[in-house]
Structure 1
Amino acid sequence: MLQIVEKNKNHITDLQRIFLEVRQKTFYWLDTHNYKLTDFDSETEAEFVLVAIYNDKVAGFISLWLRGNFIHHFYIDDEYQQHKIGSKLLEEAIQIMKAPITLKCLERNTRAVEFYKNKGFVITEKGVSDHGDYLLFTLHNKE
């Protein structure tokens, strides 16, 4: 059973682990040796975080910068990939935010790029970051 809930202190340890492990695996082209568990705390400070609970286990999260209608972080534990958890988290986030909703995605993260395109996001800008070329995606309609 899947539940989407607002983050609470009982989720922190699992969220820290997911944030570290999935970033290290996903961004294989980057030097990730300086990544640490506490990065989750600083990277999501002042953000609204929705947590996916699948069969009573933390399976992933999405962090939102509500003032800017911006999706900042979005990670699903490898163990729970392909269970439509990401789709459900994104649907919940879209309901909370106002359109247009934006997010940045590194071009080399091809699975994520395809996921966002399939969910109706369109590329509205390209840029360069410290981690590589990125795409700015925008969702104009919440339907």
Structure 2
Amino acid sequence: MNGTASIDARLAVRAYRPSDCAACALIYVRARIVAFPWRPATSFALADFERDSQDESVLVAERDGQVVGLLSVCPDERFIHLLFVDPDHHRTGVGRRLLAHALEALGPRVWLKCQQKNLPALAFYRSQGWSVTPGGADEVGPWSYVASPAANVAQP
């Protein structure tokens, strides 16, 4: 289902429901396998989604009744923690729609961390006008600060 996306009336963003857990967990595993090819696929587990999104506000993107992407945010920090799209729906507007909802929910000054080796994600954020600056490193590897166009480029 790859291709250039235009406005897609079949794509909706809504609040996460407990019944979305299995779909979100699968997307979270599948998308990280694609995004982090330097990591063993066995390092990603279905249980990671619930652990990693605990106490966060979660939205899902749904196309034709199927969950195709997820977004979790920490509103107090104006921080996007998770933004993952099912690999079968990459480049179809899901990420753009979720990012737009994050800006609506958090305000124009938003930030996130992105692994420096995740070149497609960094290219996506840059294409949306977001800035990328060096950040730090974690167990996955070096990461960059990615800031919305209205945010301070150097720090979130």
Q: Say yes or no: TM over 0.5.
A: yes
Query: Helix, strand or coil: the match of 1:33?
Result: helix
Query: Is residue 138 of structure 2 the alignment partner of residue 129 of structure 1?
Result: yes
Aligned residues: 142
Displacement of 1:35 in angstroms is 2.0
Instruction: Indicate if the aligned counterparts of 1:106 and 1:133 stay in contact, CA closer than 8 A.
Output: yes
Show CA shifts across 1:9-47 (max 9, x none): 111110011111111222110134232111100100011
Q: Identify, as 1 or 2, the structure richer in strand.
A: 1
Q: Could you state the TM-score of these two structures normalised by the residue count of structure 2?
A: 0.85
**Structure 1 residue aligned with 2:118:** 109
Identify which of 136, 139, 142 aligns with 2:148: 139
Q: Which whole-Å CA distance do the structure 1 matches of 2:21 and 2:135 have between them?
A: 33
Q: Mind listing any 5+ residue stretches in structure 2 that lack a counterpart? A: 1-9, 152-156
Query: Is residue 27 of structure 2 the alignment partner of residue 18 of structure 1?
Result: yes
**Structure 2 residue aligned with 1:89:** 98
Q: CA RMSD in A?
A: 1.5
Larger mean Cα displacement after TM superposition, 123-132 or 71-80: 123-132
**Structure 2 residue aligned with 1:52:** 61
Show CA shifts across 1:44-95 (max 9, x none): 0011111000011000111101110001111111111121111011101111
Q: Mind listing any 5+ residue stretches in structure 1 that lack a counterpart? A: none
Q: Which whole-Å CA distance do the structure 2 matches of 1:108 and 1:124 have between them?
A: 13
Displacement of 1:124 in angstroms is 3.6
Counterpart amino acid of residue 132 in structure 1: G
Show CA shifts across 1:91-132 (max 9, x none): 011110034211010111001001111112112433222211
Q: Identity over the aligned pairs, expressed in percent?
A: 25
**Structure 1 residue aligned with 2:85:** 76
